Structure 1
């Protein structure tokens, strides 16, 4: 099985190389000066943030606060109970095409679309006629945190940190705000920001990254988080939640990385 696994990885890398060469000859959107880095084998760290404190906060909220959250941010809290299959993620990494930011299975390229994300989250706050575009003079990390948290610039400055090339704020500071903030709407906003930072787009363990606050700032303006010309989607049913169903569905935990490769 080990040799078959490595063969599949190497074959897929060869297909991606073929795709890049073919597209270069025809002309496409590869960045100027792009250098292909396709490894025959990749190991991925799937270390996760501890979400227990987020879960405890959610469980303590009453129905009124929860409904306020759902109306603004959709079914995001179900992600807190989502079991991550580490073997699946490691296997998926072998099919990732860095040149085009998509998954390449043989000669088929696949990437999740914004329609799928919006249907999955059931986030009615997003409007299909408004799209994400990063402003030339975008607000600074400091100003975005001041706006999201409702705290002073001095409070935010004292808690900002630098992790590698990115600014961030520690989850503990956000947790304290969620527990003590007098404004319920702000509590909900900060909780949603924390899920995006710790679950959906984690970069530095235990911290919420600067880039996440930019996306969150755009969501607050009711736009989709990707640049597209037109987005349309339909919710299957007002009472149906895809994430809720996924969380409730029993998952096998005995599928190895090699087996996932064979399935793909």
Structure 2
């Protein structure tokens, strides 16, 4: 039986005192020898999968089929029509600070948050604190393909490819099932799998990687995909920064006004995240201004040293420790002060 999740909500003033005390005692994320190397120039690869097939399928579906998809997977289908703005991506990565896992504009901080991603993707039918955890011995890729497509073992074995040491399947192998599978739920599920593999977690152009299949199968168990998406977003951002005036920044989407914010898990001083290929941490207390809340000194000790890949000896223990910490999630009541700073924040 799965261990229940404990949710604790605490007052803003109490967390402010705890955060300031913790930062003083444990130190900042930027400790000696761990200062980020932020080059002046970077090259960003913004190549994108061809999504015309997905757009065509979505446009062919009737309203009932689209409703079934949205009820199961939220608004992720809208991602297939968004065009990548190469210049915007180039600009954004220049402001990314890996020590704090946030964008830094002079002394102003901003980062995507779990609450914002959940609102944008409108993924409602999940358990907020139930995260995806990589299983040490998942089912074989062939068995997953057979289960998701209803095809036979011989077909599945033939479709599996290896590209640059990455085990995957071509999108073209699934296209026909998405278009014509007799089971409407199978068509919907495979279409969602294609979005996660080609749009949200693309690794090999035109292919869906085995790790995406592992993740996707867990979605049916009520796993919240947002922490996983956020983890791989952070891990994929390059490390560059340049000057920008504070008045050039829009801090929030005005329609996202949560009353509470997830700020830590278990014994961690911030939120640990597990992606498909590694783990990372982020400190939501850095960016309270995005929710019109008073910005105070955040606890960040150890954040810069937390990122790791799912490789080498000992990583599964770290995965288990993070999964355990998510069994106790802490929320803070947001105090709405219309974008104000405490006096000691700049220091």
TM-score for the superposition, normalised by structure 1:
0.68
Match of 2:27 in 1: 26
2:130 paired residue number: 130
Question: Relative to 1, partners in 2 of residues 1:160 and 1:98: Cα closer, same or farther, differing over 3 Å?
Answer: farther
Aligned residue number for residue 45 of structure 1: 45
- Decide whether the 8 Å contact of 1:91 with 1:261 is kept in 2: no
Residue pair 1:80, 1:199 contacting (<8 A) in 2 also? yes
**CA distance in structure 1 between the aligned counterparts of 2:227 and 2:56, rounded to whole angstroms:** 35
Aligned in 2, Cα 1:125/1:156: closer, same or farther, shift over 3 Å?
farther
Partner of 2:280: none
What residue number does 2:199 align with?
199
In the alignment, the residues of structure 2 paired with residue 80 and residue 226 of structure 1 have an alpha-carbon distance, to the nearest angstrom, of 17
Cα distance between partner residues in 1 of 2:175 and 2:244: 39
**Cα distance in 2 for residues equivalent to 1:219 and 1:59:** 24
Per the alignment, do residues 103 and 167 of structure 1 end up closer, same or farther by CA in structure 2, a change over 3 Å counting? farther
Q: Deviations over 1:70-125 (max 9, x none)?
A: 11011122112223221111111112234554333334443322222221111222
CA distance in 2 between partners of 1:26 and 1:163 (Å): 43
Task: State whether structure 2 residue 102 is matched by structure 1 residue 118.
Answer: no
Structure 1 stretches of 4+ with a deviation exceeding 6 A read none
Instruction: State how far apart, in whole Å, the 2-side matches of 1:200 and 1:108 are.
Output: 28
RMSD over equivalenced CA pairs, Å: 3.3
In structure 1, C-alpha distance between the alignment counterparts of 2:86 and 2:69, rounded to whole Å: 29
- What are the Cα deviations for residues 156-200 of structure 1, in whole angstroms up to 9, with x where unaligned? 221111121311111111111112311111110110111111112
CA-to-aligned-CA distance 1:130-151 (integer Å, 9 cap, x gap):
2222223233333333333233
Q: Which residue of 2 aligns with 1:163?
A: 163
Cα distance in 2 for partners of 1:77, 1:89 equals 21
Separation in 2, partners of 1:84, 1:62: 27
- Unmatched 5+ residue regions in structure 2? 1-22, 229-242, 250-347
- The aligned counterpart of 1:177 is 177
Between structures 1 and 2, the one with greater strand share? 2
- In the superposition, relative to structure 1, how do residues 104 and 216 fare at CA in structure 2: closer, same or farther (>3 Å)? farther
Match of 1:90 in 2: 90
Q: Deviations over 1:196-251 (max 9, x none)?
A: 111122121111122222221221211113669xxxxxxxxxxxxxxxxxxxxxxx
Distance 1:94 1:109, change over 3 A: same
Are the counterparts in 2 of residues 36 and 99 from structure 1 also a CA contact under 8 Å?
Answer: yes
Which residue does the alignment assign to 1:224? 224
* Structure 1 pair 204–72 and aligned structure 2 pair: CA distance change class (3 A): same
The 1:97/1:162 distance shift into structure 2, 3 A limit, reads farther
Describe the SS at the equivalent of 1:194: helix
Gaps of 5+ in 1: 1-21, 229-259
In 1, Cα distance between the equivalents of 2:64 and 2:94? 44
CA distance in structure 2 between the partners assigned to 1:207 and 1:34 by the alignment: 36
SS at the partner of 1:168?
A: strand
Q: Secondary structure at the match of 2:132?
A: coil
The alignment of Structure 1 onto Structure 2 pairs a total of residues equal to: 211
Greater share of residues in helix = 1
* Aligned pairs for 1:8-27 within 5 A: 26=27
Matches of 1:261 and 1:163, distance apart in 2: 40
Find the aligned partners of 1:203 and 1:40 in 2 and give their Cα distance.
26
